[in-house]
């Protein structure tokens, strides 16, 4: 491991985040010795992508703010030149059936975007699309009730991740799938997913990543979520990706400046072969 890099972070343009300025995040990254810092904000979503209007307003910036975000990130990149490599990026939602929306959104910025984290946050459920990471109650009411079991919901989730890999493979910038085990965010409150199912699907995803040239976000945010308590990329899976030549990138998924660098020790230990988990 030659580069200390936080590859998944957010800004004040995140409507479920924090109003702190990007400089506060980057200053912390510099203080912690990071050499590269990717700013990967949520871009706009299609109108009424989810039915809940209040939730919809919190999920992503409105379309008119995207140019301002890009300019904001570029200004900050210039400000920190020589101190840290700041990469301008987006956390793209994989929008099953609406990939053309994402293609149109990205097109004006392809010359400046350096990073894309492609994440599955949404699954079809009761009366439309629903977040897999909103609340346990919402998951139970709108996804678990729709699929019938957590295993069936998980199979659909992993199907979407495989589709997201195929879409991400066509992007011209650095790209990686986001938090591949986000569906376990509420694992302490929802019925369990069969560990053998998770193992089988993640092994297949590692193969897909290797074949496509897409990397993976080793996302530690689950460690700070009380209903999860574990990273969204298990150690055995990270090692499988490494063995296959997949680019693995630490991601704090910081929504507050103090979260920058959170869980980096876990990532370092995995890379060095010292971390393990129940799936080993």
Q: What is the pLDDT of residues 110-158, one digit of tens each?
A: 999 999 999 999 999 999 999 999 999 999 999 999 999 999 999 999 9
Dihedral sign of CA atoms 70, 104, 47, 133 in order: negative
The pLDDT score that the predictor gives to residue 1 is 55
Q: What is the pLDDT of residues 155-184, one digit of tens each?
A: 999 999 999 999 999 999 999 999 999 999
Residue 215 bridge partners (DSSP): 176
3-state secondary structure of 16: coil
Query: Pick the residue with more confidence: 192 or 278?
Result: 192
CATH class of 5-119+150-271: alpha beta
- Measured CA to CA, the distance from residue 105 to residue 156 in angstroms comes to 26
The pLDDT score that the predictor gives to residue 275 is 65
Cβ atoms of residues 169 and 211 within 8 Å: no
Instruction: Please report which confidence band the pLDDT of residue 279 belongs to, taking 50, 70 and 90 as the band edges.
Output: very low
- Measured CA to CA, the distance from residue 178 to residue 157 in angstroms comes to 13
- Any residues with CB less than 8 A from the CB of 152 and at least 6 apart, and which? none
> What share of the chain has pLDDT > 70, as a percent?
97
Cβ atoms of residues 72 and 10 within 8 Å: no
pTM for the model stands at 0.96
- Measured CA to CA, the distance from residue 2 to residue 100 in angstroms comes to 37
Provide the pairing of β-strand 115-119 with 85-93.
parallel
Q: What is the pLDDT of residues 9-53, one digit of tens each?
A: 999 999 999 999 999 999 999 999 999 999 999 999 999 999 888
């Amino acid at each position: 491991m030659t580069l200390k890099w936080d590859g998944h972070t957010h800004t004040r343009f995140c409507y479920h985040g924090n109003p702190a300025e990007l400089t506060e995040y980057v200053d912390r990254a510099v203080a912690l010795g990071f050499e590269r810092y990717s700013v990967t904000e949520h871009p706009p979503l299609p109108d009424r992508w989810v039915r809940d209007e209040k939730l919809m307003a919190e999920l992503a910036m409105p379309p008119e703010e995207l140019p301002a975000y890009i300019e904001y990130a570029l200004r900050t990149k210039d400000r920190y030149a020589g101190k840290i490599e700041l990469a301008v990026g987006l956390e793209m939602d994989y929008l099953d059936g609406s990939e053309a929306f994402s293609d149109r959104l990205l097109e004006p910025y392809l010359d400046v975007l350096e990073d894309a984290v492609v994440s599955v946050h949404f699954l079809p459920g009761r009366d439309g699309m629903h977040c897999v990471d909103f609340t346990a109650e919402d998951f139970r009411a709108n996804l678990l009730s729709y699929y019938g079991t957590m295993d069936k919901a998980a199979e659909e989730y992993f199907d979407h991740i495989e589709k997201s890999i195929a879409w991400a493979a066509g992007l011209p910038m650095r790209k990686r799938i986001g938090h591949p085990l986000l569906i376990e965010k509420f694992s302490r409150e929802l019925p369990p997913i069969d560990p053998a199912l998770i193992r089988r699907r993640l092994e297949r995803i590692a193969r897909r990543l290797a074949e496509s040239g897409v990397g993976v976000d080793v996302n530690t945010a689950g460690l700070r979520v009380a209903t999860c308590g574990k990273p969204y990329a298990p150690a055995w899976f990270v090692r499988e990706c490494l063995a296959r030549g997949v680019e693995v990138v630490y991601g704090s998924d910081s929504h507050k400046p103090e979260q920058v660098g959170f869980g980096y020790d876990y990532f370092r230990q995995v890379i060095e072969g010292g971390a393990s988990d129940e799936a080993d």
